[in-house]
């Protein structure tokens, strides 16, 4: 009887292990764990939310990192892509919103830029993303 009980516990444990592996495979847990271990948070965010494409996380992060001391305000973000922007990641409730600076994401045509934003000067440009400032 003891052998039967021991055998039954081993089969039950094997069943649970197989079920756990199947769940890991269905939810792609092995790949997710690999990505988390290989890439840091910033690289994963930029890969998923884009630099100048998708939500523009990389460009907004670049502006926040390089112009934080000079521009101590929340910079409004306009995106011309079909996805929302990532400005919420960098919004600080203790800062006021800027009326002079503006971030444009996925602006594809310079004629469009010159037509609608001619009262602004370009501070930073990467690919099709701009940081612009209103002319004085």
Q: What confidence score (pLDDT) does residue 118 get?
A: 80
Q: pTM here?
A: 0.74
Average pLDDT, the chain: 85
- pLDDT band (50, 70, 90) for residue 6: low
**Residue labelled with tokens 């039954």:** 8
Q: Which strands form 77-79's sheet, in the order they lie side by side?
A: 77-79, 101-105, 129-134, 120-126
The confidence score (pLDDT) of residue 61 equals 92
Domain ranges of the chain: 2-38, 51-134
Confidence (pLDDT) at 22: 94
Q: In sequence order, what DSSP letters do the residues of 58-72 get, joined into one string?
A: HHHHHHHHHHTTT--
85-125, pLDDT tens digit by residue? 888 888 888 989 989 999 988 887 776 767 777 888 888 98
| Residue 89, pLDDT score | 86
Per-residue confidence (pLDDT) for residue 12, from 0 to 100: 79
d(CA 54, CA 25) in angstroms, rounded, equals 28
Comparing 132 with 6, the larger pLDDT belongs to 132
Q: For position 18, what pLDDT does the model report?
A: 87
């Amino acid at each position: 009887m003891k052998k039967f009980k021991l055998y039954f516990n081993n089969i039950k444990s094997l069943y649970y292990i197989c079920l756990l592996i199947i769940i890991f495979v269905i939810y792609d847990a092995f790949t997710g764990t690999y990505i988390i271990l290989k890439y840091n948070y910033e690289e994963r965010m930029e890969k998923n939310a884009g630099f100048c494409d998708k939500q523009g996380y990389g460009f907004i992060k670049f502006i926040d990192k390089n112009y934080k001391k000079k521009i101590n305000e929340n910079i409004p973000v306009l995106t011309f892509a079909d996805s929302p922007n990532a400005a919420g990641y960098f919004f600080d409730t203790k800062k006021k919103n800027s009326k002079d600076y503006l971030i444009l994401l996925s602006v594809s045509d310079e004629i469009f830029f010159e037509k609608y934003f001619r009262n602004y000067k370009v501070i930073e440009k990467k690919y099709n993303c701009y940081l612009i400032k209103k002319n004085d």
